[in-house]
Amino acid sequence: MAQGIYEVRKVLGAPAEQSMVLPILYELASVANISLDDDTTQLLTLDVRRKNFLDTRYALDDLKRAFGGRKSSLVRLLASRVLVDLLPGDPFDPVSDLPACGLTLLAATAERLFEYGMPQFDALASTVVSIADWLRVQRFHRPLLLESPLGNMLPTQALLDRLVAIGLEPVQARVMAPREDRRNRLKFRDFVSDLRRGAYGSISCVVYLDDVQSGSRFKKAYETLSKELSKAQVPFLATGLVFRRAKHLSAAQKPLWTSVRKKLTSSRKVLGPQAPPAWVEFPDCPQVPGAQGPLSISTCPVWGDDDLVSGIRKVTLIFHFIEQYQYILKELTKSRSSYRAILHWTAQQGLWGEILQFDDAMLRHTYTELNTLVDWKLVESHAEVAFKEDFEGTLVQVSELDLQRRRDWIRQELRDAVSSHRLDGMANVLIGSLEVLYEMTPRQLLLRSSSERKHEARYCHVAIEYNQAFRTLNSTLRKAIGASWPT
């Protein structure tokens, strides 16, 4: 059975045949209203693996089911985003580049995002203009802008662009979200300590704008900053960008929202009557016709926590692998499992012949037994020691070698966990299946939402910037926002 697992990985790691890929690419390009020339087609098929092909095919099928062939700005955006995911290259490599056609595709995707989300982008442009104009009137020539990846990155970048355009000299500082503040070197309190020591030079004020969802994260950030900056006697301007109407809040969330709004509003009394709004309500994402009724993008704001939009990615490296593997193995034990369905699909395609002798009940029993052998908390505690830089969020660069070291490490951890029960053969089954399923699973099935990450506060994220080529989507979007500044 283990040999079959590695055969699946070998086959899925091989390039997909162009005859399989090209029809899907052309159909996606047609939906996205993007012209695919020979150079772009060659680029997108340069290193298309079987995994990428499966992801792309599933994504196209999803679009067909959701929109039923109806054209809209949203479907153009989603189809374009699928094509972007096929771009080759390492976005973290400073010298990795893309040909002109790749940059054009990224720019086109930014244009489609701006087209669909124009109501929210217009509101963002108005907000940053009002803040920038007030800072200029107050003669806060050197404001410090706080970045907290990823949610507030684009609004902060838009404000930065406006400040530079009107002749101010903004400074940037990066801190992580409050829930990641326990061990991370990028802490709110540490930032204020650095500010007091003069690490950022002469600062006229601190500006923090971020989205308000439930209100919990924003409240923690605002209260910490307000208290510490007040001690340091540094003017503080905080603005809540609100994308959730009160009617969508639970009974438990409404008091929190009210509290945040009151704190922000009262803070404006200190800054004067001409201070920009503290609480800015944004329009909802536009709804477009779908096969079963109106549809809108699932993220709000429209730019969401997309790393390509921000030009930066938050990663947890070794803990990401641990979480994903734990999640997949747990899913394999459920009575109905999409992951076991994928394994059966590989058998039907002739990629994993030996699994044919196992029915679904046997597979579930096998993975249930394996799940009892792995102490994931122990694996995490070992990772904290082995990869301290991941745990504390101090890694500043990530290479393919860094990723391979972590894959090798967790492979050995799992082998030790299973082999300690004298089940060496089963260790190969576990490791092989987890790696295959991680590599080939359509991305929408992978663990993604932060609410599912039970131990997120135990370790820190690392925020790593993309190289210049892969920041094209971000830079194009920022230019579009700048072109929409109200006069």
Largest CA distance in the chain: 76
Domain-located, residue 251: yes
Query: Phi and psi dihedrals of 270, rounded to 5?
Result: -70, -35
**422 and 378, same structural domain?**
yes
pLDDT of residue 177: 58
Contact 321, 409 (CB under 8 A): no
**Claim to verify: residue 136 and residue 234 sit in the same structural domain:** yes
- pLDDT band for position 252 (cuts 50, 70, 90): confident
Task: Please write the tens of the pLDDT for every residue from 265-319.
Answer: 888 888 888 889 999 999 988 888 888 888 888 777 899 878 889 998 777 778 8
Give 3-state DSSP helix, strand, coil % of the chain, rounded to 5. Answer: 60, 10, 35
405 belongs to a structural domain? yes
- Average pLDDT along the chain: 81
Q: Does residue 137 share a domain with residue 97? A: no
| 2 within some domain | no
Does a structural domain hold residue 469?
no
Each residue's pLDDT tens digit, 21-46: 889 999 999 999 999 999 999 898 88
Q: Give yes or no for residue 453 having a pLDDT over 50.
A: no
**Is 213 within a domain?**
yes
| Whether residue 326 sits in one domain with residue 265 | no
Write down the residue that tokens 């929210």 correspond to: 120
Residues 351 and 235 in one domain: no
Of the residues 231, 260, 284, the one at which a domain ends:
284
Nearest 5°: phi and psi at 203? -110, 135
* DSSP letter string, 162-229: HHHHTT---EEEE---GGGTTT-SS-HHHHHHHHHTTTT-S-SEEEEEEEESSSHHHHHHHHHHHHHH
Average of per-residue pLDDT across 317-339: 85
The answer to whether residue 280 is domain-embedded is: yes
Q: Which residue has the higher pLDDT, 461 or 112?
A: 112
> Does residue 140 share a domain with residue 111?
no
What pLDDT, on a 0 to 100 scale, did the predictor assign at position 180?
47
352 in the same domain as 446: yes
Does 362 fall in a domain?
yes
Q: ∠ CA(266), CA(269), CA(273), 5° rounding?
A: 130
CB-based contacts of 84, cutoff 8 Å, min separation 6: 105, 106, 109, 308, 473
Tokens, residue 299: 């993220």
Q: What is the CATH number of the domain that holds 146?
A: 3.40.50.2300
Is 105 in the same domain as 191? Answer: no
Q: 318-332 vs 360-373: helix axis angle to the nearest 10?
A: 140
Lowest mean pLDDT among 1-5, 74-78, 294-298: 1-5
The DSSP code sequence of 415-453 is HHHHHTTT-HHHHHHHHHHHHHHHHHS-GGGS---GGG-
Question: Is the predicted pLDDT of residue 181 greater than 70, yes or no?
Answer: no
Residues 77-128: tens digit of each pLDDT: 999 999 998 888 878 777 778 999 999 999 999 999 999 999 999 999 999 9
Average pLDDT, integer, range 238-254: 78
| Structural domain ending residue among the three candidates 80, 115, 150 | 115
**% the chain with pLDDT above 90:** 30
Which of residues 79, 97, 115 is at a domain's end?
115
Domain shared by 153 and 256, yes or no? yes
- First-residue to last-residue Cα distance in the chain: 67
> Amino acid identity of 38?
D
Angle at 436 between CA 405 and CA 453, to 5 degrees: 70
Q: Does position 418 have pLDDT exceeding 60, yes or no?
A: yes
d(C-alpha 465, C-alpha 477), whole Å:
16
Q: Which candidate, 484, 480, 459, places its Cα nearest to that of 112?
A: 480
Task: Read off the pTM.
Answer: 0.79
245 pLDDT exceeds 80? no
Shared domain for 267 and 122, answered yes or no, is yes
In the chain, the amino acid numbered 104 is T
Yes or no: say if 88 and 43 are a contact pair by the CB < 8 Å rule.
yes
Domain hosting 64: range is: 15-115
Between CA 227 and CA 420 the distance in angstroms is 52
What is the DSSP pairing of strand 312-315 with strand 279-281?
Answer: unpaired
Q: Which residue has the higher pLDDT, 486 or 115?
A: 115
Task: Give the total number of structural domains in the chain.
Answer: 3
User: What single DSSP character describes residue 147?
Assistant: E
**Same domain for 157 and 31?**
no
Bridge-based pairing of strands 205-212 and 171-174 is unpaired
Residues 209 and 345 in one domain: no
Phi, psi of 410 (to 5 degrees): -70, -30
DSSP string of 245-277? -GGGS-TTHHHHHHHHHHHHHHHHHHH-TTSPP
In a domain, 4, yes or no: no
Report the distance separating Cα 32 and Cα 73, nearest Å. Answer: 9
Write down the pLDDT at residue 10. Answer: 59
